[in-house]
């Protein structure tokens, strides 16, 4: 019987999940949550999801799949479509996905949640951790603060995902980031 604490980890893509979930599994019983209605176009969404399923099978963790609520995502972010990456549009995008992760954690009875997004050199861990803390307070859950890009995390994830033959995207995810590739 594994008595490690349970955690629900929001997963944005397979290459990042392969490295970070592996790390988390040393201390936690991880359930993954793929909730990313920001990803455009839908074929890209399906591809990233399929690759994440491969990682879940390989690392033997349960993967919960959220809905592809793309219309809702566009409604939330459209006003900020011209913002640069890391700007307000991204903050809304992080907050929406973290809120949905907390909702799912609550539903599953998992008291702790996190996101693996801080592994990206294009994402501020300070912003993600602040939004995570606020979301945790709102739902009465604990948010695991992290900066997975530390200790050369990003380069390690690139290497590991290459060895595993995973697809790695060349843009963050949304239509707006896709146009500026």
CA distance 124 to 41: 25
Which residue lies nearer to ligand SF4 by CB, 91 or 104? 91
**65: CB partners within 8 A, 6+ apart:** 34, 49
Stretch that binds ligand SF4, among 87-95, 105-113, 125-133, 143-151 (CB under 6 A): 87-95
CA distance 62 to 55: 10
Among residues 102, 120, 95, which one has the least CA distance to residue 19? Answer: 120
Q: Is the CB of residue 164 less than 8 Å from the CB of residue 176?
A: no
Stretch that binds ligand SF4, among 2-10, 44-52, 85-93, 140-148 (CB under 6 A): 85-93
Site string for ligand SF4, 112-151 (x = CB under 6 A): ----------------------------------------
Q: Under the rule (CB under 6 A), what is the footprint of ligand SF4?
A: 38, 77, 85, 89-90, 93, 172-174, 176-177
């Amino acid at each position: 019987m594994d008595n490690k604490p349970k955690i629900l980890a929001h997963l944005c893509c397979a290459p990042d999940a392969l490295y970070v979930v592996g790390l988390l599994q040393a201390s936690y019983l991880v359930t993954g949550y793929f909730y990313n209605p920001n990803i455009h176009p839908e074929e890209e969404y399906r591809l990233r999801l399929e690759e994440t399923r491969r990682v879940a099978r390989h690392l033997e963790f349960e993967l919960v799949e959220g809905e592809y609520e793309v219309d809702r995502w566009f409604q939330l972010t459209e006003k900020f479509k011209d913002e640069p990456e890391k700007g307000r549009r991204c903050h809304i995008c992080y907050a929406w996905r973290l809120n949905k992760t907390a909702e799912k954690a609550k539903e599953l009875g998992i008291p702790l949640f996190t996101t693996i997004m801080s592994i990206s050199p294009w994402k501020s861990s300070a912003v993600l951790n602040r939004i995570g803390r606020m979301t945790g307070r709102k739902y009465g859950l604990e948010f695991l603060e992290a900066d997975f890009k530390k200790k050369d995390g990003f380069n390690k994830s690139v290497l590991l995902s290459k060895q595993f033959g995973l697809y790695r995207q060349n843009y963050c995810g949304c239509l707006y980031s896709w146009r500026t590739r």
